[in-house]
A and B are shown apart, each in its own frame.
Chain A
């Protein structure tokens, strides 16, 4: 017998699964952050170009290409036997925005990584999560050589709501990356609490 599992009688635990997205501009440290807290693996997804809002890719011979492959960062954090958190690093290029919709659905929250040398690179991600009311935290990845700005100046430049957490981080450091994730979940929790209060008053 191929399966060889006849001895298994106790059904496996079915954990609760949750996901957090890690977004931000090109080269901002998304892969680094996911890798700092989880065992990271690339995930391939194929999307038909028609779904992808096509002709962006319209070069000679493209009609034969019905699907495009997109690679994403993907990590698993087993919090407990019955609680698993997945991290998805969203693909950076704008033409893959369509993929975000699937990723964002049911997401517990998101991290937006920012680099003070090119803050504008994360505007798109911030807009995206604001519009969909997905709780997010902004983490400024402190690269060497990047000027250190006071958090309040970054907050103002990004026009962030006062409730949105803004942290400085080093995406290479596990502790720092953990702190960023905790900030996202605490923000989601505060929001959920508030919503509950509204519902009961």
Chain B
């Protein structure tokens, strides 16, 4: 194996641990990816700020991206997918950043209806009515 390939293998392993800076955009997660340490946040799970997020001292410990996520979800909670699309970040990066905020109890994440329970008949009817009214 070439040196560079070996290097790549190794960084790949470091990647999931708390490694030093890796290429952007994972630089803003300090190289962490979401797969290893946290359960995957659903793409349509909503991020809802907690009251603690209002605490003026908090934001100094956070990166600008963290702050932006909290701000964007303040008026209308947004899904992981939406945050990724608006911030133009890969979904994996947003998962890590939101995971940080959850750990710090600054936000919580809604749990989408699990598949087995999904078709709640009354909700489906509301979806149909809502679509027709668009």
Q: Which A residues form the contact surface with B (CB < 8 A)?
A: 1-3, 5-6, 8, 11-19, 37, 41-46, 48, 51, 63-67, 69, 74, 76-77, 79-80, 83-86, 88, 102-103, 105-108, 174, 178, 181-182, 185-186, 188-189, 191-193, 195-196
Contacts and interface: CB of A to CB of B under 8 A. Distances in A.
The secondary-structure label for the interface of chain B is helix
Given A12-B75, A63-B9, A79 B85 contact: no
A63 B126 contact: no
Interface in B28-45: 33, 35, 40, 42-45
B40 to A, nearest CB: 8
Contacts of A3: 53-54, 56, 58-59, 67, 70-71, 74
Contact of A108 (B54, B93, B124): B124
Contacts, number: 166
Nearest to A41: B85
B134 A178 contact: yes
Given A18-B44, A44-B84, A188-B119, A178 B67 contact: no
A84 B81 CA distance: 13
A69 B90 contact: yes
B131 A63 contact: no
11 contacts: A2-B67, A3-B54, A3-B59, A5-B49, A6-B54, A43-B84, A46-B92, A77-B130, A79-B130, A86-B82, A106-B115
B127 A108 contact: yes
Interface string B65-96: 00100110111110101101110111111000
